[in-house]
Amino acid sequence: MSDYDWTRFCKRIDVNSPADIIYMTLATQAGLESWFLRTAEFTAPDKVIRRKNEFIKKDDTHRWLWFGYNDETEERGTVLEANGTDLIKFTFSGTCTVTITVKPEQGTTIVELWQENIPTDDKSKSSWHLGCATGWTFYLANLKSVLEGGLDLRNKNEELKRVVNS
């Protein structure tokens, strides 16, 4: 497995929902908080915090908190791209970037996520490649669940540890 690329991975899922609805759930605070995060705060370059249903824009900064974790577990980063229809890209987990696209394929809508620029030291391989790949797999499945049936599968109990759904 010496030719395996530890610097990136891709996760794809079909979601039976219109592309504009999917994009809204990926690119607004309210949308991200419905399937992914406990808090998804975005601040524009002029230091104004975006409204819950306002689309994120390039150069916004973000502060994210997850269910199942206390407030010390936070993610801060920058929106690198957000085209308003089918693509967002942001910094994640230090040096990593995440790109999410929404596109039609074979009569359904595909959400495709790439996490790239993952360092290749052993800790990064474990945390940012394997750990994030597992996390994104769950959260993309939860996105599908929320949009197709309304069921949120996230663990919201901070005391419950080492579960795949937080």
Strand partners, 81: 89
The residue segments making up the domain with residue 61 are 9-149
Considering only CA atoms, which of 97, 99, 84 is closest in space to residue 27? 84
Q: Would you say residue 23 lies in a domain?
A: yes
Into how many domains does the chain fold?
1
pLDDT of 1 higher than 60:
no
Q: Write out pLDDT tens, residues 129-141.
A: 999 999 999 999 9
Which CATH number characterizes residue 109's domain? Answer: 3.30.530.20
Note the pLDDT of residue 19: 97
Q: Write out pLDDT tens, residues 88-100.
A: 999 999 899 999 9
Q: Would you say residue 24 lies in a domain?
A: yes
Note the pLDDT of residue 162: 87
Q: Which amino acid is at 21?
A: I
Q: Would you say residue 83 lies in a domain?
A: yes
Considering only CA atoms, which of 97, 60, 66 is closest in space to residue 82? 60
Q: Would you say residue 75 lies in a domain?
A: yes
What pTM was estimated for this model as a whole? 0.95
